[in-house]
Structure 1
Amino acid sequence: MAARRLRPVGLDFVAHAPVRLVFAQEVAAEPGAVYRVLAEDVAGWPDWFPGVRSARVVDDGAGRDVRLVGGTRFRERVLAAKAPEVYAYRVDVTNLPGVRALVEEWRLTPVGGGAGRTRVRWTFTADGPAPFRGVLRLARGGLGRAFRDAVRALEVRAGG
């Protein structure tokens, strides 16, 4: 399938996207350690997020090239990299059919007054035609399982 350019949305898209899927889980690791795994060790994503086949930094850190198991490709632009609180990116180019705009945001919040725990919240937002939006909503359970599995592995990688 041919790659195509998506609508260039900003970080505000996370708040008002037609499809917003939000997942959260606590991990036994400091926010800074979790942030390093998320934002600074991009090439390590396949080691903790099972659906990612490869990931690499491009454009001097302003973007990422990500390939998923199954052949989906993303060229992403980093929208926010504020350690250790938020890491967000939008997809600029993909071969995924139907999608018009896509932004993912990872928010990290210390839990328990700095006791070495972090609440990881992943917000997956997208826009596309009605059938695409419907499929994403139906995929919520699978995305939630993928998130939980990934965050458990991320916790180990972050030293939790």
Structure 2
Amino acid sequence: MVRRLRAEGLDFVAAAPVRLVFTREVSASPERVFHALASDVSGWAEWFPAVTSVRPLDEGAGRDVRLRGGTRFRETVLAAKEPEVYAYRVDVTNAPAVRALVEEWRLAPAGSGTRVQWTFAADGPVLVRGALRLARPGLGRSFRDAVTRLDRRLTTRS
């Protein structure tokens, strides 16, 4: 069943009922990390294990994302400010009960590399909010593994 979510903007990242924030430093430059996030969209499946495919839509204004287990997202890119921020909201999904979902990737120079911060901002009924908070350790592990794989991919391509 495909469901349309509430259309939220970037302000939702700070105001969402559920905000899960994860940070990791990598050796790749902010520009290279930004390019991997925003320009090499189909490459996400190579470094983010939960992702099976990503296709850009509308000349980069949106994305079609498929995850392991069959979850699908149709997204709108909310911000692509190189090399600092890449953010998108989920417009349509087959995931049950979620009402709104925005993800933001913030990049900042850190030593000779980049500080990567991912914010997962969501809303849903009380049970969904609780389940998302309980999923925090797993999402954190997924983020750390993905960003480590991304860094390895970017530094071996130098």
TM, length-normalised to structure 2: 0.97
Counting only pairs closer than 5 Å after superposition, residues 124-143 of structure 1 correspond to structure 2 as: 124-143=120-139
Could you tell me how far 1:158 is from its partner in structure 2?
Answer: 1.9
Q: Is the 8 A contact 1:33 1:159 kept in 2?
A: no
Distance in 2 (alpha carbons) for counterparts of 1:30 and 1:61: 22
Cα drift, residue 52 of structure 1? 0.2
Distance in 1 (alpha carbons) for counterparts of 2:143 and 2:6: 25
Match of 1:154 in 2: 150
| Number of equivalences | 156
Aligned to 2:11: 12
Match of 2:93 in 1: 94
Aligned to 1:33: 32
Point out where structure 2 has 5 or more consecutive residues left out of the alignment: none
Equivalence map 1:13-92=2 (5 Å):
13-92=12-91
| Corresponding residue for residue 140 of structure 2 | 144
Q: Residues 42-82 of structure 1: CA distance to partner in whole angstroms, max 9, x if unpaired?
A: 00101000000100100111100000000000000000000
TM-score by length of 1: 0.96
CA separation in 1, counterparts of 2:120 and 2:103? 5
CA RMSD of aligned residues (A): 0.7
CA displacement at 1:102 relative to structure 2:
0.1
AA partner of residue 144 (structure 2):
R
Residue 159 of structure 1 and its aligned partner are, at CA, apart by 1.8
Contact 1:31 1:109 in 2 (8 A): yes
State the AA in 2 paired with 1:9: E
CA contact (8 A) 1:29 1:118 kept: yes
* Kept in 2: contact 1:37–1:157 (CA 8 A): no
Q: How does 1:94-113 map to 2 (within 5 A)?
A: 94-112=93-111
Q: SS of 1:90's equivalent?
A: strand
Q: Secondary structure at the match of 2:151?
A: helix
TM-superposed deviation, 1:157: 1.9
